[in-house]
Amino acid sequence: MWDALPDAARSIVKELIIHGPQSRTALAKTLHLSTGSLTRLTRPLVDAGLLVEGDVVHDPVNGRPTRPLDVAASEHRFLGIKLTADRIHTVITDLRAGVVAARDEPITDHSPDAVCHQARRLLDGLTDGTGGTGRAGGAGGAGGTGGTGGTQIVAAGVTIGGDARSSAPVGRERLIDAPFLGWRQVALEPLMEQALGRPCVVKNDVAALAHQHHWFGAGRGLRDFALVTIGAGIGYALIVHDHLVAAAEADLGMFAHLALSPGGPMCTEGHRGCASAYLSSDSIEISAGLGLRRAVTYEEVMRGAAAGDQVCLGVVREAARALGRLIAHITTISMVKTVILAGEGVELARVGKDDLDAALTANRRGVPGSAEVVIEADDFREWARGGAVVAIQSFVTGSD
């Protein structure tokens, strides 16, 4: 059914997924289609169970009674997977990336085959042993899927750190390097597809998170925004004119080592005062550990700072000021007006918000509020959800 969608139908599905139920007249207006074309395009999608009609309401455009169209979000499920050096995180979402189930566990065997089979076992566990195959054959048709067990997993998306794009000639299998798993030139997509029994896309984790925020998060409705992730690593993605700016492998590590202050702490590559030296979880733990004269976790440092501990507060304030400068550089050079902060270490921005704001303003010619900073939840499942989002996007737009 998805493969056969004409491009105009794909824009209708995309519009409804991102912006919610709409009347046919409103939809036709947004997409510059005649209502006749819209009706012709949507009829087979309704018949196939991809779109549903809501209860009768009065059309906001012409006042006539109408039944708004929506996607059958809960009837279509997607699997998102995030791989780290030691854990595999999985979520199952609906067509709007709402999480319906989640599970994670340590990676037991790091070989690509074993990781793919572990993903399959997790999928089986999340779908009560059915593997999310739904009904046999999987042909179109709305069916009577009132229960919880019969919903089909349409596709899967895997996100990993580093270059998960392509290092193969056009038309060949895409090969993945994941040094943290000891993988070199692994054809992960076909391996995963075979293990999971459904189509699979593989993406860089930060790029996937940017797509997620663009369709389903704080970036929805924005044509331009930047995403900065804080955690074990420092990540960056830029959406301009509704498109992700493509990054080459060599670009990916650059951002984390952007120099922010010549006299700051030192990173693992020997730079003083780079973004990573101030902001990575390791750097925060080590800086606070120096003052406290003992090893501390990232969470302890954040809690200590929130409770007024002088050492923790000192480290967090210094890092938050560096983050403010970093955001000032991003907004000034790219001219985006919104920066979304995400990642498992984002609590830093919340605890150090005043210092972040002050440094941002000071580095924007003293103009307050010239850039909006949105701080997201520090839920690690968001990375796996990013995987589900790239699977959703690849199916809706017919590309990856």
Nearer to Zn ion, 26 or 206 (CB): 206
Pairing relationship of beta strands 69-71 and 57-58 according to DSSP bridges: unpaired
Please give the span between the terminal C-alpha atoms of the chain, in angstroms, as a whole number. Answer: 18
Span from 74-82, 141-149, 215-223, 276-284 in contact with Zn ion (CB under 5 A): 276-284
Nearer to Zn ion, 267 or 327 (CB): 267
**Main-chain phi, psi angles of 369, to 5 degrees:** 70, 20
Span from 77-85, 164-172, 175-183, 250-258 in contact with Zn ion (CB under 5 A): 250-258
Looking at the DSSP bridge assignments, the partners of residue 375 are 341
Span from 131-139, 202-210, 269-277, 343-351 in contact with Zn ion (CB under 5 A): 269-277
**Closest distance between Zn ion and the C-beta of residue 249, in Å?**
18
Contacts with 137 (C-beta within 8 Å, 6 or more apart), sequence order = none
Question: Within positions 334 to 373, which residues make up the interface with Zn ion, using CB under 5 A?
Answer: none
Distance CA 158, CA 287 (A): 33
Q: Binding to Zn ion by residue 269, rule CB under 5 A?
A: yes
Q: Which helix (H) or strand (E) holds 252?
A: helix 249-252
**Closest distance between Zn ion and the C-beta of residue 348, in Å?**
17
Span from 86-94, 96-104, 111-119, 257-265 in contact with Zn ion (CB under 5 A): 257-265
Q: Is the Cα dihedral 58, 61, 66, 68 positive or negative? A: negative
Nearer to Zn ion, 93 or 276 (CB): 276
Pairing relationship of beta strands 338-342 and 87-93 according to DSSP bridges: unpaired
Q: Binding to Zn ion by residue 267, rule CB under 5 A?
A: yes
**Closest distance between Zn ion and the C-beta of residue 275, in Å?**
7
Distance CA 246, CA 233 (A): 19
Nearer to Zn ion, 107 or 258 (CB): 258
Position among 121, 257, 303, 381 found at the interface with Zn ion (CB under 5 A): 257
| CA 175 to each of CA 44, 67, 167, 181, 194: distance values in angstroms, whole numbers, following the listed order | 37, 47, 6, 14, 16
Residue count at the site for Zn ion (CB under 5 A)?
6
- Contact assessment for residue 47 and residue 40, using Cβ atoms and an 8 Å cutoff: no
Distance CA 203, CA 176 (A): 10
Helix or strand or coil: residue 350?
helix
Nearer to Zn ion, 36 or 270 (CB): 270
Span from 200-208, 265-273, 323-331, 360-368 in contact with Zn ion (CB under 5 A): 265-273
Position among 214, 271, 317, 325 found at the interface with Zn ion (CB under 5 A): 271
Position among 212, 276, 287, 331 found at the interface with Zn ion (CB under 5 A): 276
**Closest distance between Zn ion and the C-beta of residue 343, in Å?**
17
**Main-chain phi, psi angles of 152, to 5 degrees:** -85, 140
Span from 65-73, 194-202, 274-282, 386-394 in contact with Zn ion (CB under 5 A): 274-282
Contacting positions for Zn ion (CB under 5 A): 257, 267, 269, 271, 274, 276
